[in-house]
Structure 1
């Protein structure tokens, strides 16, 4: 367990308030976005706002909509279109969380019972569909075909990523390129779109749009890589999750892919039993972590996350120095060093 302890020690020494500069910069806009979210969750069908409110309340720091707000601010935007688009981004994200928890049969998210654990799978899927529909209503209200193209494409790519992950789950022959394809689709696509639309509403040149898109994509990849490492870390308790959820679900994440590739026949037989056959025995999780430590796969996954975070930060070099630029670049470091 040496590496798990080492990762924990490193992250606990980091500033847990790494999001605070960004939150402070977009605080007023974020309050307006939260009001929009509440308004657009409303429905005469009582279960919809009840269930949607539960998942939104447990949804974390609103990182994705904050990226939209900050990207618009970085580009000097002075209007209000970014507010509706930030709410749209959050609805897309929340809908995917509802569907994810059903697919994964999850009972806990950030320390709270998941919507499917409280209300069941059918209501969770249907309310997820409702939130996707609300997101598209917000896109149409904005009136920009560019915005509609960017966010609708991201929604389609996310769905493709979900299906690809389902196809590769419990398959130890999955390789790193397939894993990265899932990450880019399932996580990074929305980060990228959230950032790019900030440049679109500010009517920035395509070069600025693409720079913010690259920032968001690389940030999203770094974010997901760290999530996948944290699943084998004691820090999961602070995330409101139990250690080894991915392992028990048979998800083929980068630390696992590398351990399988670097392991011997006996080790691959272990991974096959646990991940493909779903035959779990006492001590399997501890043995899996030991194998990852033996082959340095958690360290290597973290190193890749840092490279993507550095790339995200560099993508903003073309923008002039500002507090917003600094806060966004700091977020890249936060996503790697976060303890929650």
Structure 2
């Protein structure tokens, strides 16, 4: 596995999403206008609950990827505005459903919608946003776009179910885990990037290259999230430290630490994932085991590997502001762990 990202930014400056945000700022205003218009309803609870999450401080990375990839391809139309909003609605719907499934209390440092309005309202508003996303797909008029985004929606749901059935199963293989995050996280990253090539009417190799960029970035992004759940703080993450541990979520660091542990350590992980070891002291012990077995370091090494694959996928595109911004977005995703 490659252990380094070949950085393009000057030494001494931390990677940032700022170049991508600046690149697509004008387009993003159009996307935000679509989001605000399409989340309205005569039922007041719907925009109230949806607005709570949509206005919750997220970076809107997925719709920004659609816009940045369109810039990479010199697309000059406006179809990508509605489609980027569609991507954000799919993502927001999955977050609403995820928080219900996980019983989460915090999302981006704020109380979750399910904690405020309850699980039924969160699920139903998530369904509303999914429906809005499909309206936007149909309005675009491209069967190819519809196929890419509808398939991504189905794959995300499959990934979530796969993760649910793997919950607390500490013997889950690394291969299965990568399948899970490839579906539940990376599929939407891939689709968000790929549809830019469709609306720009570019050849299939460019479609597939952007799909590979988004997919590998999504996997890297999730692996870093897995690592920082044990090695960051609540303010940085916007959720409770050790939430994955207390929820019995079997992530890659746990899979690696369990596989490398002795009999006593293996029993600790089994007990922990089944909810029998959830104190702060247990979390501290788990973090020590992750460090001692190299599980955190190796998870981040894998993230860098997928990050480099994402950057390599951009190799065939012309150099310029958009390619630089997309490359730095990968560096930013990795650098969150350091």
TM-score by length of 1: 0.94
Q: 3-state DSSP class of the match of 1:24?
A: helix
Whole-angstrom distance in 2 between the partners of 1:251 and 1:14: 36
The answer to whether the 8 Å contact 2:109/2:234 transfers is no
User: What is the deviation of 1:59?
Assistant: 5.1
Deviations 1:227-273 (A, max 9, x none): 00010013343222221000000001000000000001110111111
Any gaps of 5 or more consecutive residues in structure 2? Answer: 1-10
Going from structure 1 to structure 2, the CA distance change for 1:337 and 1:236 (only over 3 Å counts) comes to farther
RMSD across aligned positions (CA): 1.4
Match for residue 73 of structure 1 among 59, 71, 74 = 71
The answer to whether the 8 Å contact 2:16/2:329 transfers is yes
Q: 3-state DSSP class of the match of 2:24?
A: helix
| Count of residues in Structure 1 that have an aligned counterpart in Structure 2 | 328
1:1-340 equivalences under 5 Å are 18-58=16-56, 60-338=58-336
User: What is the deviation of 1:281?
Assistant: 4.1
Q: 3-state DSSP class of the match of 1:283?
A: helix
The answer to whether the 8 Å contact 2:158/2:183 transfers is yes
The answer to whether the 8 Å contact 1:16/1:339 transfers is no
TM-score by length of 2: 0.95
The answer to whether the 8 Å contact 2:20/2:325 transfers is yes
Whole-angstrom distance in 2 between the partners of 1:108 and 1:213: 31
Which structure 1 residue ranges, 4+ long, deviate > 3 Å from structure 2?
13-17
Deviations 1:34-72 (A, max 9, x none): 010000000000000000000101151010000000111
The answer to whether the 8 Å contact 1:16/1:338 transfers is no
Whole-angstrom distance in 1 between the partners of 2:271 and 2:39: 44
Q: 3-state DSSP class of the match of 1:231?
A: helix
Going from structure 1 to structure 2, the CA distance change for 1:233 and 1:279 (only over 3 Å counts) comes to closer
Whole-angstrom distance in 1 between the partners of 2:251 and 2:57: 23
User: What is the deviation of 1:277?
Assistant: 4.5
Whole-angstrom distance in 2 between the partners of 1:176 and 1:80: 41
The answer to whether the 8 Å contact 2:252/2:299 transfers is yes
The answer to whether the 8 Å contact 1:250/1:276 transfers is yes
Deviations 1:174-194 (A, max 9, x none): 110111011000000000000
1:3 equivalent in structure 2? none
User: What is the deviation of 1:339?
Assistant: 6.1
Any gaps of 5 or more consecutive residues in structure 1? Answer: 1-12
Whole-angstrom distance in 2 between the partners of 1:154 and 1:304: 24
The answer to whether the 8 Å contact 1:222/1:309 transfers is yes
The answer to whether the 8 Å contact 2:272/2:278 transfers is yes
